[in-house]
């Protein structure tokens, strides 16, 4: 099966952006690791990034027919986007919300997520390893449904 791994705004800057918080690894490297982990667990990983909220909505809608599950790091849209909340609510697939940093150990404006109520599960604070953990969990969620 195919899993969409969707990344939101500013995640294209990983490696350069606040490395003390987000680490030194770039998004391309994380994407490569995800694809490899996918091959090992028989998942096709479609790894994407956009800075645009509506594009994330389009991709979530695309997952209804194009993917068996969604792993999403919505970046700052986590804390603002009713549109992403609504799209995920409607898609009918397992959803894992993912953050590199522990959003609860940071500024108060990061403590609320519009995505968590419509996520199957949430991973945060484990850095790039969280992506691999999310794929492993997604594999089990998909197997449990079929």
For residues 64, 51, 100 and 85, what is the CA-based torsion angle, rounded to 10 degrees?
-40
Residue 87 CA: distances (Å) to CA of 3, 51, 127: 16, 17, 26
Is 114 a residue of the active site? no
**CA 67 from centre of chain:** 14
The answer to the question of whether 11 is labelled as a binding residue is no
Q: Which spans of this chain sit near ligand DQA (rule: CB under 6 A)? A: 10, 73, 75-76, 78, 99-101, 103, 110
As measured in angstroms, the least distance from the Cβ of 99 to ligand DQA is: 4
Is 52 a residue of the active site? no
The answer to the question of whether 73 is labelled as a binding residue is yes
As measured in angstroms, the least distance from the Cβ of 17 to ligand DQA is: 8
Q: Can you tell me the distance from the alpha carbon of 54 to that of 21, in angstroms, rounded to the nearest whole number?
A: 27
As measured in angstroms, the least distance from the Cβ of 85 to ligand DQA is: 15
Active site residues per annotation: 22, 99
């Amino acid at each position: 099966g195919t899993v969409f791994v969707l990344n939101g705004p500013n995640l294209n800057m990983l490696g350069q952006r606040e490395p003390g918080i987000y680490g030194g690894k770039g998004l391309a490297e994380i994407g490569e690791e995800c694809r490899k982990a996918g091959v090992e667990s028989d998942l096709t990983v479609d790894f994407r990034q956009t800075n645009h909220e509506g594009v994330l909505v389009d991709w979530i809608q695309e997952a209804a027919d194009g993917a068996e599950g969604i792993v999403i790091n919505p970046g700052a849209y986590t804390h603002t986007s009713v549109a992403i909340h609504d799209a995920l609510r409607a898609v009918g697939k397992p959803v894992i919300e993912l953050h590199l940093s522990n959003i609860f150990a940071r500024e108060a404006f990061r403590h609320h997520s519009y995505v968590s109520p419509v996520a199957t599960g949430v991973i945060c604070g484990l850095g790039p390893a969280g992506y691999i953990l999310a794929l492993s969990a997604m594999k089990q969620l998909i197997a449990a449904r079929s």
